[in-house]
Structure 1
């Protein structure tokens, strides 16, 4: 290889810090542990360090957040490197609470729709009777 010619390598990703989202009960999803990059040999890092200290629940680090001038990353800009999500147990609790609230709201909606549909049937029946005469 030549010092003047870019090379392509898979570089490991190292996470640094403790995420606020994980400390408050979230779960970290480390999606890309190695990132393919293209750079001159002198610019090629040994690893990519990603600081996750400020990641809250729902936050993520994408490839576009890691871009620098001295190398290019050979992934889609919106590819997720690491994300902090709500824990499944917490999601199940909030989902069941949403369902209970949603069911009550849906019942009221269904009754309204049912009345409208019944009214529509009566309106359709009247012209049919008139057409038979």
Structure 2
């Protein structure tokens, strides 16, 4: 599990105006931390450290230490609000976690073995990944940075589901906890769609015939016009 630490300050001034002023200073990002048995607390996060942290994919599925007034709280990222067209984060939501309580989190799904995959390498197939992340439930200590599935032995026509993922100890799938009907497909190896050369030639022939016919119609029309004149 990756370790991240962010120094934050408590925000006393609230509202849209205060948040705009904070963003204009360009040193901190407005945020809020909530959950657990404590009231929501508006905070501001040091911008440079935060932007460096979000460059790492693991940041979004890791426990984060928030240092507030010398005290450290473990949290996870719950939501980021971004500027509609600028590469800027305008607000961040953090959820407090308890070492003794399970919580839900979406973690990335990494697919390995693509270069050795039988269906791709030997059978001209292609990978269709239907899920890029999976919602799980676990205690903070069991939170994985990501889940991994190996496709090296898969053949064309194979579909894998959530139940095919080997979950770490202490981790459960939220969807599967609702029953077999929620065993969603996560990827498949399908035959690559390659157009037949004969179809291309037939289409080319039809196009040429159509153009030739159009030219004849045009010439015929011109001849008729000349006869009438």
TM range (shorter): 0.5 to 0.7
The equivalent position to 1:71 in structure 2, one of 153, 164, 171, is: 171
Gaps of 5+ in 2: 1-96, 177-181, 200-229
Partner residue of 1:105? Answer: none
Aligned residues of 2:148 and 2:165 also touching (Cα < 8 A): no
Partner residue of 1:80? Answer: 185
RMSD: 1.9
Q: Summarize the alignment of residues 42-53 of structure 1 with structure 2, pairs less than 5 Å apart.
A: 42-53=141-152
Gaps of 5+ in 1: 97-133
Aligned residue pair count: 92
More helix by share: 1
- State the shift of 1:67 in Å: 4.9
The equivalent position to 2:125 in structure 1, one of 9, 26, 30, is: 26
Moved over 6 A (4+): none
- State the shift of 1:75 in Å: 2.4
The equivalent position to 2:110 in structure 1, one of 7, 11, 14, is: 14
More strand by share: 2
Q: Relative CO higher for 1 or 2, CA cutoff 8 Å, sep ≥ 6?
A: 1
- Partner of 1:58: helix, strand, or coil? coil
2:101 is aligned with 1:5: yes
C-alpha separation in 2, matches of 1:38 and 1:11: 10
Aligned residues of 1:67 and 1:73 also touching (Cα < 8 A): no
Partner residue of 2:154? Answer: 55
User: TM (normalized to structure 2)?
Assistant: 0.37
